[in-house]
A and B are shown apart, each in its own frame.
Chain A
Amino acid sequence: MAWSKFLIYLLVMAGVTYLIRMIPLAAIRGKVRSVFLQSFLYYVPYAVLGAMTFPAVFSATGSFPTALAGTIAALVLGWMEKSLLTVAAVSCVVAFLTGLVF
């Protein structure tokens, strides 16, 4: 891709992403006192990751059977509290092996 075009896209993309992350972290110095807000912020990471994973995970490999097999593997290993790397790697391997069959 031509550099002039690429750099403008990159600037917009990285600029917006950074500002979203930076502004709340730099601006908010005090402690949130509201129990509702504290609880809300406590739940946010789990809700975000849940919504990001499902249903997107089922189309992550471009084939439903392989994605489903990999997801089941990840759920089983995650339930067993295996490390992030183990769960991620095994789910990829299971998806790949399933792809050899389907």
Chain B
Amino acid sequence: MFADYKRGLKHGIPIALGYLSVSFAFGIQATSLGLSALQAVMISFFNVTSAGQLAGLQLMAAGAPLIEMALTQLTINLRYALMSLSLSQKLDKTMTLPHRLLVSFCNTDEVFVVASQQPGRVGKAYLYGLTNGPFLGWVGGTLLGALAGGVLPAAVTEALGLAIYGMFIAIILPPFRRSKEVRAVILIAVAMSCLFALVPLFSFISDGFRIIVCAVAASALGAWLMPQPVKDEEEEVLA
């Protein structure tokens, strides 16, 4: 049990360090838009999501209606429903309801992808280990950014905006290299996303919605043309 926790913790360290730089940039932006350091930290503590928080921050600063806040979070973050659905298929018997309620709070893009890539099923010890570091990194980085924001030159804070994407690229490239099926799905998703974002005809589609449409279409196409039967690991877990 403890070995699983330690293994998760170890897998979470690079995510936590990546989050430090990304949330640092978020902290800077939050204070520059008129929030206090404590408010910035509270947003990160209760949301634990990059794109949704950034959009939420801008809506707060603009004094947007609450319904717009709710709908924006729904579209940007709906991908998590897909991820939670996918993760639900990998959980072992230690993941009872209370643990599902807690772990889902920290089911970020990176945590999900790393958990998905583990052989067999994953349990509560591994998942708590995996989520603890990134959560601390996310909240701690926000605090540091909120406190240090005014001090850093703009050139530095702008360059930090790349951190989250660098992390995404680092996550998808190894499987992109190894599996031609994954490669095809990623290329379709990227091509669609660029098309929707850059062609003016599609400019009515919001960023969050675009991500969902592209991910669902590319994954469905992949599943239809290149099915990947996942073997049932039930026996291994019970053994």
A interface residues (Cβ-Cβ under 8 A, vs B): 1, 5-6, 8-10, 12-14, 16-18, 20-26, 28-29, 31-32, 35-57, 60-63, 66-67, 70-71, 74-75, 77-79, 81-93, 95-96, 99-100
Contacts and interface: CB of A to CB of B under 8 A. Distances in A.
Contacts of B218: 43, 47, 50-51
B104 to A, nearest CB: 4
B206 interface: no
Interface string B68-106: 011001100111111111111101000001001101110
Contact of A55 (B18, B161, B167, B193): B193
Contacts of B174: 78, 81
B5 interface: no
B43 A24 contact: no
- The residue among A17, A52, A75, A100 with the most chain B CB atoms within 10 A of its own CB is A52
Nearest to B52: A17
A25 B88 contact: yes
A18 B52 CA distance: 12
Given A25-B87, A88-B21, A88-B163, A96 B156 contact: yes
B201 interface: no
B81 A49 contact: no
A43 B35 contact: no
A13 B21 contact: no
Interface in B40-79: 42-43, 46-49, 51-53, 56, 59-61, 66, 69-70, 73-74, 77-79
3 cross-chain pairs, A with B, having the tightest CB-CB distances, nearest first = A78-B173, A87-B170, A39-B223
Contacts of A92: 21, 159-160, 162-163, 166
Interface string B181-192: 110011111101
Interface string B161-177: 11111111111111111
Contacts, number: 313
A99 to B, nearest CB: 5
B73 A13 contact: yes
B194 interface: yes
A83 B81 contact: no
B223 A37 contact: yes
Contact of B169 (A12, A37, A53, A93): A53
Contacts of B162: 57, 60-61, 67, 70-71, 74, 88, 91-92, 95
Nearest to B191: A54
Given A24-B85, A91-B165, A85 B18 contact: yes
Contacts of A41: 82, 85-86, 89, 219
Given A21-B81, A41-B85, A84 B171 contact: yes
Contacts of A88: 17-18, 21-22, 162-164, 166-167, 170
A56 B165 contact: yes
Nearest to B82: A44
B214 interface: yes
B89 A31 contact: yes
Contacts of B122: none
B163 A24 contact: no
Given A47-B189, A55-B193, A20 B223 contact: no
